[in-house]
Amino acid sequence: MLKWIMIPLMTIAIVGCSQIPKEPALAFGKKCEVTENGTVVSSSVWIYSKEDGLKATEEACPKME
């Protein structure tokens, strides 16, 4: 029962945190993007604009030793 309550709540929380473009596309897999100030943003699920394309790449992720 708890699972059926948590799934919609988590979906709302995730959608509320992301900015959805006009023509969205999804990409799956660990990818990273480095911002102008040097911050590394990583995720396994990316929502991006089809017009602009996905700027995050797998190669941008720092290598974990």
The answer to whether residue 12 sits within a structural domain is no
The answer to whether residue 46 sits within a structural domain is yes
The string of pLDDT tens digits covering residues 34-52 is: 889 988 888 888 888 898 8
Q: What is the pLDDT of residue 37?
A: 92
* Number of domains making up the chain: 1
With a pLDDT cut of 90, the percent of the chain lying above it is 11
Q: What is the pLDDT of residue 18?
A: 63
The answer to whether residue 44 sits within a structural domain is yes
Flag whether pLDDT at 65 surpasses 50: no
The answer to whether residue 29 sits within a structural domain is yes
Q: Where in the sequence is the domain holding 41, given as residue range(s)?
A: 21-65
The answer to whether residue 2 sits within a structural domain is no
The answer to whether residue 47 sits within a structural domain is yes
For 7, 26, 30, 34, the CA distances from 42, given in Å and listed in that order, are 23, 15, 7, 9
The answer to whether residue 9 sits within a structural domain is no
Closest by alpha carbon to 44, among 56, 54, 31, 33? Answer: 31
Check: pTM over 0.85? Answer yes or no.
no
The answer to whether residue 32 sits within a structural domain is yes
- Give dist(CA 7, CA 22) in Å, integer: 25
Q: What is the pLDDT of residue 23?
A: 85
